[in-house]
Amino acid sequence: MLLVDNELCIGCGLCEDNCAFGAIEVVDGIAVVGDACTLCGSCVDVCEVEALTIEGGPKGPQADFAEWSGVWVYSEFRNGMLAPVSLELLGAGRKLADARNVPLGAVLIGAGTGDSAEKLIAHGADRVFRADHQELASFGDESYGAILSGLIRQHKPEIILAGATAIGRSFIPAVANELGAGLTADCTRLDIREDDGALLQTRPAFGGNIMATIVCPNSRPQMATVRPKVMKELDFDGGRTGEIIEIQPEPDQLASRVRILETVVSENENVNIQESDILVSGGRGLDDEKGFELIRRLADCLGGSVAATRAAVDAGWIGYPHQVGQTGKTVAPKLYVACGISGAIQHVAGMQSTETIVAINRDKDAPIFNVADFGLVGDLFEVVPKLIDQIEKRRKQ
Amino acid sequence: MDYFLTEEQEMIVDIARQITDERIIPQRAELDEKDEFPRDILADMAQADLFGVPLPEEYGGFGGGCLDIVLALEQLGRGCIGVGTAFAASALGIYPIMISGSSEMKEKYLPSVAVGEKYAAFGLTEANAGSDASGIQTTAVLDGDEWVLNGTKQWITNGGEAEIYTVIAITDRSKGARGASMFVVETGDEGFSCGPKEKKMGIRASSTTELIMKDCRIPQDRLIGRKGTGFITVMKTLDSSRPGIAALGLGLAQACLDEAVTYAKQREQFGKPIMAFQAVQHMLADMAIELEAARALVYGAARHIDAHPKDMSKVSSMCKVFATDMAMKVSTNAVQVMGGYGYMREYPVEKMMRDAKILQIYEGTNQIQRNVVGQELNKEYTRA
Amino acid sequence: MKILVCIKQVPDAKDVRLDPETNTLAREGVQSIMNPYDQHALEEAVRVKESLGGEVTALSMGPPQAEDVLRQAISCGADHGVLVSDRSFAGADTWATSYTLAKTVEKLGGFDLIFCGKQAIDGDTAQVGPGLAMRLGVPFVTCVQKVREVNPTTLTGERMMDDGYDVFGVDYPVLLTVVKDVNQPRVPSLKGKMKSKKATITTLTADDIGADAACIGLPGSPTQVVDVFPPPARGNREVLSGTVDEQIEQLVEKLAPYLE
């Protein structure tokens, strides 16, 4: 609880100005703490007369941290494939493990995993814990959770990373609760704090309007989920060696009270443009519906979806679900590539919260260039195919 | 401005506002484009108990007064007066039964309208009888224990969508003003049908059709009130409903003002937002002033009607004229402030301007309303 | 059926901005709302009640003013509102929140079905639902996009996955977290609003639920926020120069973060 010493408080209002949550207010010359207080401590730091204290601070060390060592990555495997984020996490995990001077482990759970374990080693893992069992063919929160938490209890890794995917965001919180571990969701950045080796986890909050850095000072393991496409995977190195440890799940670890009756893989066309991180959008400059084939190719190349302006939708080149703007959908992807779009305000209204906007237009005075982070003046029918080539070339390198 | 609404009135506003923001506004352009009747939205309004607002509590309604229904319609009007008209027309259609019907008749029709299970419609206008109701040609003749109706009603809101129609017909032409009576006609009655949907300039979400009665036979007890009271019932019905039309105008104008100010703040010309130009500011200021004046009059009239239900003609007409003329002007000016963008369908003010026109025409043209006010003045000053 | 729906009162995220100068939340005009995902959870709970009978209890943990979202829940069809509120809960992370809610559920006597929103829009963590289920020892399914069938003993539905969806079946008790596709929440009714004004909201404190002081609030939270800062500012608007090929080369360089 945040306590105010009324004798010391001079009502200067510094604490009020510094509270990010609007939880402290100076009333009649004395600071008064409201219910919105999260005990973040920023007011304690700024108070020049030391009138503020936080009582009952964080709980003391729960266990000897020295017992906990190593960095682990949960390597998601579904429908016969490793999720790309698994390899990205190995890239991030490798850096953390090297900074801590500890081995990097990977946990692989599924059925028919083939050479996935070897692939994980080639991408940076020192050890792979492999639970390959027919009963694990479809993802189950209880079975996957029981196996992972069993392994964590046994081997005590200090850090566990998982993809912030549908699967990772589902069973990892339950595992963290069971272990009493701190868990930070959707991290976009991970570092090791120099003074004590703790994991610094940075994540967006309030829909990306705020960034927060989080630590788990007094408990282990430290768990984090990481958004796909944020970390970089290491290059495949077939010469790397590592250890594969086979895990035989106990029968009770395979039990699941939730029955999976069917798994349905959707077609890409149904993608909701509001859910896509990358959108390639076409406007009147495409000339006709064939222009959208080009847009689609670029979208596939970037792993994104296709969007459009009202002009393109009205012309019948593409369906209404793809429309962005005043009368279409509002989107906030990470990357928005506007091709042949002039940038009328009613279109911009639907996409201005994008992280990075790229504009390709032959008219150098088109208003789209005023909102674009990167503008490329040129004929899109020349630019887009070349761009696709360059991206593919870069990927192969 | 604070109009000191009661807690219940605030609730009505909240619910109607939520329906408007979440259901009507996202769909209005499509409903307009496709001439589509808003069945789903009306079902949401029914779920939220809005249909019950003007109906008596003993028949499953809320027993709300004129101000309650005005507040609900103002919010709906902010979204789309086509949807608002479909909703209001059901109340209009049931008013004759509420005003003059027997308790058996109320028991039969009011509960299903109060919960929005059935819609009602009001049939007055004919090809040769609009402002001048004495030109009505539809007739009703008693044949045994059945009334036989013949004639065609024109431009009937909710035609084809409603199940309960209250229509006026001549029962004895020799009795002049006392020669007309009102009846309930139901979907499925022998000899009754609705014409095709009319194509309109605005309020295209609402349905407008002819009502065709060809030897339409209905039971004797479908007569509303006593024989010969049709005109009185019609006048009372319109007196009750007109403030609702005024309220649609308030909502529409509010939406126009919101759009125009938002646009003026972001649109830049000559290096600054057009809001910074006094010419634009003054237009917006006039819109806001006239809107607030109209709102004060409409709310005041509604409160007067709730307190003095027998003295409503003049105030009802006054508020209808003032608020709907204001809505036409404000919507025209909203388009003007927004220039070319305002004229395009991409922005909603184009539709609002088209929609606004009907407010000056239906439920008694604004010219007829001025007649009513003038006649009332004549009476008042004669008495004095 | 005894149905519980967990509801959080959150600041409307679209209004929240960090002042880059002072690093404080620009909080003027920020409204408190019912977490949007929770509205869908509530709607699903009310629909189950309407088809199978039973009662819906809405539960929220938060400051006294969170009572507002419980009244809102009642206006949309919930039967009871329970607020668990105590100054000692301040600073709770998802772990301590799951603990607190679990203790409250035990105090209330358990439920057949518990609905939560997928996540809250202020934190976006999606951790409290699974955490609560784990502590209660009930199975859970996250990101439910459709409830196909409910009957008095089992429920079948669809769980959204990254590449499509899984169809699942489960017996009660169970906890489900829902995504927005699951339904369209209803607008409160006038009768519901009137009922909600008069309703009594049960308020429970840390002592009432028998919470261990070491497991709640900041002391009970394994994670702690050490820094809050605004996201990196938008890059400079830049029109690339040179020949088309040179521009493409520069662009691919700039897009590198998105190409991995």
What digits encode the pLDDT tens for the residues A72-107? 999 999 888 898 889 999 999 999 999 999 999 999
Q: Which residues of A touch B341 (CB under 8 A)?
A: 345-346
User: Which uninterrupted H or E stretch holds A252?
Assistant: helix A251-254
Q: What percent of chain A has pLDDT over 90?
A: 47
Residue type at B64?
A: G
Q: Which of A47-61, A347-361, C239-253 has the lowest mean pLDDT?
A: A47-61
Q: Is C194 on the interface with B (CB under 8 A)?
A: yes
| Confidence check: pLDDT of A61 > 60 | no
d(C-alpha A352, C-alpha A332), whole Å:
7
DSSP B126: B
A183 neighbors A152 (Cβ within 8 angstroms) = no
The answer on pLDDT for C163 being more than 80 is no
**Mean pLDDT of the B368-373 span:** 96
Q: Which residues of A touch C125 (CB under 8 A)?
A: 173, 183-186
Residues of B involved in catalysis: 363
Touching chains, A (3+ CB pairs < 8 A): B, C
pLDDT greater at residue C242 or residue B318: B318
- Map residue A169 onto helix, strand or coil: helix
Q: Do A326 and B267 touch (CB under 8 A)?
A: no
Instruction: Give the confidence band of A219 by pLDDT, cuts at 50, 70, 90.
Output: confident
Predicted local confidence at residue A59, as pLDDT: 47
Residue A60 has pLDDT above 50, yes or no: no
Please tell me the predicted confidence (pLDDT) of residue B282.
98
Nearest-CA neighbor of B291 among B332, B323, B331, B258? Answer: B323
The SS3 of residue A53 is: strand
Residue type, B249: G
- Residues B29-58 pLDDT 10s: 999 999 999 999 999 999 999 999 999 999
Average pLDDT value over all residues in chain C: 89
- Closest CA of chain B from A328, distance in Å: 10
pLDDT band (50, 70, 90) for residue C244: confident
DSSP B20: I
Other beta carbons within 10 angstroms of residue A61's beta carbon come to 11
Interstrand relation of B120-123 and A356-361 (parallel, antiparallel or unpaired): unpaired
Nearest to A160 by CA among A183, A142, A178, A139: A183
């906890």: which residue's tokens? C175
Beta carbons of B173 and B179 less than 8 angstroms apart: yes
In chain A, which residues touch B (CB < 8 A)?
Answer: 310, 326-327, 345-346
Q: What is the mean pLDDT of residues A331-356?
A: 84
Q: Is the pLDDT of residue B28 over 80?
A: yes
For the cut 50, the answer to whether the pLDDT of residue A58 exceeds it is no
Q: How far apart are CA A158 and CA A97, in angstroms?
A: 10
Q: Does C50 touch chain B (CB under 8 A)?
A: no
Could you tell me the two tokens for B247? 């309220």
Give the range among A101-115, A135-149, A258-272, A288-302 with minimum mean pLDDT: A258-272
Poorest-confidence range of A117-131, B155-169, C13-27?
A: C13-27
**Per-residue confidence (pLDDT) for residue C130, from 0 to 100:** 95
State mean pLDDT over A251-275: 80
pTM of the full structure: 0.80
Residue predicted with more confidence, A240 or C231: A240
Task: Measure CA of the first residue to CA of the last residue in chain C; give whole Å.
Answer: 49
CA distance C53 to chain B (A): 19
Q: Is residue B258 predicted with pLDDT exceeding 60?
A: yes
Percentage with pLDDT > 90 across chain C: 62
Residues of chain B with Cβ-Cβ distance to C188 below 8 Å are 14-15, 18, 48
CB A127 within 8 A of CB A105: yes
- What's the DSSP call for residue C222? S
Asked whether the beta carbons of residue A263 and residue C166 sit closer than 8 angstroms, the reply is: yes
Reported as a single tens digit per residue, the pLDDT across A169-211 is: 999 999 999 998 999 998 888 999 988 889 999 987 765 667 7
User: What is the overall mean pLDDT for chain A?
Assistant: 87
Interface test with A, best of B346, B347, B350 (most A CBs within 10 A): B346
pLDDT at B14 over 90: yes
On the CB side of B258, how many CA atoms lie within 13 Å of its CA? 11
C209: number of Cβ within 10 Å? 20
State the Cα–Cα distance between residues B222 and B169, nearest whole angstrom: 12
Q: What is the Cα–Cα distance from C67 to C60, expressed in whole angstroms? A: 8
Handedness of CA A195, A196, A199, A203 (dihedral sign): negative
Give the mean pLDDT of chain B. Answer: 96
DSSP states along A305-364: EEEE-HHHHHTTSS-GGGBBSTTSB----SEEEEES----HHHHTTTTT-SEEEEEES-T
- State how far the Cα of A217 lies from the Cα of A199, in Å rounded to an integer: 9
Cα B43 to Cα B26: distance, rounded to the nearest angstrom = 16
pLDDT at A261: 93
Asked if the Cβ–Cβ distance from B11 to C193 is below 8 Å, we say yes
From chain B, the residues in CB contact with C186 under 8 A are 44, 47-48
Confidence band of C260 (pLDDT split at 50, 70, 90): low
Q: From CA C219, how far away is CA B98, in angstroms rounded?
A: 65
pLDDT of residue B295: 98
Give tens-digit pLDDT for A383-396: 999 999 999 888 87
- List pLDDT tens digits, range A272-331: 787 788 999 999 998 888 889 999 999 998 989 999 998 888 788 888 778 887 666 777
**At B332, phi and psi to the nearest 5?**
-60, -45
Residue type, A308: A
Whole-angstrom distance, CA of residue A251 vs CA of residue A249: 6
User: Residue A343 above 90 pLDDT?
Assistant: no
Q: Could you say which DSSP state residue C235 is in?
A: P
**Closest to C43 in 3D by CA, of C138, C116, C130, C149:** C116
**Residue found by looking up tokens 């009572």 in the block:** C67
Cα separation, B23 vs B17, in Å, equals 10
Within 8 A of B343 by CB-CB distance, chain A residues are none
Between these two residues, A144 and C25, which has the higher pLDDT value? A144
What's residue C11's pLDDT? Answer: 82
DSSP, collapsed to helix, strand or coil, labels residue C151 as coil
Beta bridge partners of A119: none
As a whole-number percent, the residues of chain B with pLDDT over 90 amount to 94
Say which amino acid occupies A275: E
- pLDDT given at position B205: 97
pLDDT at residue A271 is higher than 90: no
Element (H, E) at A32: strand A30-33
Angle, CA A71 vertex, CA A68 and CA A73 arms, to 5°:
130
- For residue A349, pLDDT beyond 90: no
Where do runs of H (alpha helix) occur along chain C? 36-52, 67-75, 94-108, 128-136, 190-198, 244-254, 256-259
Lowest mean pLDDT among A376-380, B219-223, B361-365, C13-17: C13-17
Neighbours of chain B (3+ CB pairs under 8 A): A, C
Enumerate residues 6+ apart whose C-beta is below 8 A from B12: B50, B53, B64, B68, B71, B72, C190
